[in-house]
């Protein structure tokens, strides 16, 4: 049985006054935001807005999986106690809303928990965005929402440490740090409730229709460790194509169990390299799915550097290494440049989003392809490849919408390995 967390909130600027609600559905296993909903509801009280947020959150969860187990978290003591059956519902405006909430799921599938307001920032921010939109005479737009990012910032989420692509080591991030730049994109669209807010905008800006439908979601699994991984050696597609180590096989078994518990994967696609195929078949066997191969998902060919550490390359070919670090268009001797890999991965992405539109597919691949998909989704510069950590058997996720926008939903999750 899938497990969801629903966080909901509502607010009124005047009580009664202009009011709105916000709610978010979270995958209890991965922490991934699955759906957001927010709406300006006109003049109402705080309690009515909170109940409407609850109803919207439960309906969004039901839309995802009516058989799921749902744990509701709200900072409204009144709503939590009334829905738990410990307090009576006396107010005539709230009775029908409470009854509507109770009808969405059987009571055996829903539990309630009160949380302090500071732990309900995501839903609170959505409610305020809805009220702000109402004040402007507009509807809340998921494409313009920053609620998830604001909530994470408020929780002081730790930033991922830097690390170079491939299994090659350290030093590259430090060498490229001076080249780092940042880019932000914001624009507007319209919708009352939709999948989680998108993180990247196409060059023409946002022009989202009211209903984009379900996105194609890529759950990105890096293969498990090989004997080269702990030594941080360049391990691409031009070397010996190593198999998983014993430690790597254990990592993959844990990843397979976590993905099976998640229950959302509908297809499995793998890089043709041995370490990915071994990883993919282990997961697919647990899910009861076949494995499809995609050539575009193979790792960078590191040419003459295959099997070497970063330090060994720096000692043997310092000028070539410096040139490679300075430009994504420069390839290792006999290998591929990151610019070439980007074109290959982009073409694979386009094929796969077309094939798996509206579905959730597991892509089993390597460091550079995963970082490239994340980088492109964010609209980040090429040097950002050196500023993301991506552990063996880690899980990341990117969603692709029908209008061409993308949303990075998860990066380097290793909770299943602990």
* Residues catalogued as catalytic: 223, 299
What is the token pair recorded at 414? 């290793």
Q: How far is CA 103 from the centre of its chain?
A: 30
Q: Is 275 flagged in the annotation as binding?
A: yes
Give me the phi and psi of 398, to 5 degrees please.
-135, 135
Which residues in 90-99 are b (16+ Cβ under 10 Å) and which e? eeeebeebbe
Listed in sequence order, the DSSP H helices in 204-317 are: 246-262, 274-287, 310-316
Residue 301 contacts residue 323 (beta carbons within 8 Å): no
Non-local CB neighbours of 338 within 8 Å, separated by 6+ positions? 165, 300, 328, 329, 368, 372, 382, 385
Q: Are 118 and 171 in contact (CB under 8 A)?
A: no
Q: How many CB atoms lie within 10 A of CB 64?
A: 16
DSSP category for residue 354:
H
Q: Is the dihedral of CA 103, 105, 111, 112 positive or negative?
A: negative
Q: 272, 137 in Cβ contact below 8 A?
A: no
Residues of the binding site for substrate:
275
Query: Binding site residues, as ranges?
Result: 275
């Amino acid at each position: 049985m899938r497990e969801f967390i629903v966080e909901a909130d509502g607010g009124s600027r005047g009580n009664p006054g202009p009011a709105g609600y916000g709610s978010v559905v979270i995958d209890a296993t991965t922490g991934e935001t699955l759906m957001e909903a927010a709406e300006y509801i006109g003049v109402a009280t705080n309690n009515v807005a909170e109940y409407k947020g609850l109803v919207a959150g439960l309906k969004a969860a039901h839309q995802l999986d009516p058989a799921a187990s749902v744990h509701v978290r709200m900072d409204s003591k009144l709503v939590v106690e009334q829905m738990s059956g410990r307090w009576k519902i006396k107010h005539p405006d709230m009775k029908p809303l409470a009854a509507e909430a109770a009808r969405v799921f059987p009571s055996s599938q829903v539990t309630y928990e009160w949380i302090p307001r500071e732990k309900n920032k995501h839903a609170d921010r959505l409610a305020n965005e809805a009220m702000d939109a109402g004040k402007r005479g507009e509807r809340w737009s998921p494409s313009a929402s920053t609620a998830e990012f604001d909530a994470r910032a408020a929780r002081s989420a730790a930033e991922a440490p830097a690390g170079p692509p491939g299994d090659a080591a350290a030093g590259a991030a430090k060498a490229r740090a001076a080249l780092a730049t940042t880019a932000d994109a914001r624009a507007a669209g319209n919708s009352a409730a939709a999948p989680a807010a998108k993180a990247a905008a196409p060059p023409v800006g946002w022009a989202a229709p009211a209903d984009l439908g379900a996105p194609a979601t890529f759950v990105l699994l890096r293969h498990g460790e090989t004997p080269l991984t702990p030594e941080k050696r360049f391990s691409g597609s031009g070397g010996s194509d190593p198999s998983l180590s014993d430690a790597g096989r254990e990592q993959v078994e844990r990843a397979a169990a976590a993905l099976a518990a998640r229950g959302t994967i509908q297809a499995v696609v793998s890089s043709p390299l041995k370490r990915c195929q071994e990883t993919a078949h282990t997961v697919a066997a647990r899910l009861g799915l076949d494995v499809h191969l995609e050539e575009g998902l193979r790792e960078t060919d590191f040419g003459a550097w295959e099997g070497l550490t970063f330090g060994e390359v720096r000692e043997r070919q310092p000028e070539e290494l410096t040139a490679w670090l300075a430009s994504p268009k420069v390839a290792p001797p006999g290998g591929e440049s990151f610019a070439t890999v980007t074109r290959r991965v982009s073409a694979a992405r386009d094929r796969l989003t077309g094939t798996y539109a509206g579905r959730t597919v597991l892509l089993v691949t390597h460091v550079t392809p995963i970082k490239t998909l994340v980088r492109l989704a964010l609209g980040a510069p090429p040097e950002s490849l050196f500023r993301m950590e991506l552990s063996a058997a880690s899980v990341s996720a990117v969603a692709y919408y029908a209008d061409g926008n993308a949303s990075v939903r998860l990066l380097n999750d290793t909770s299943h390995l602990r």
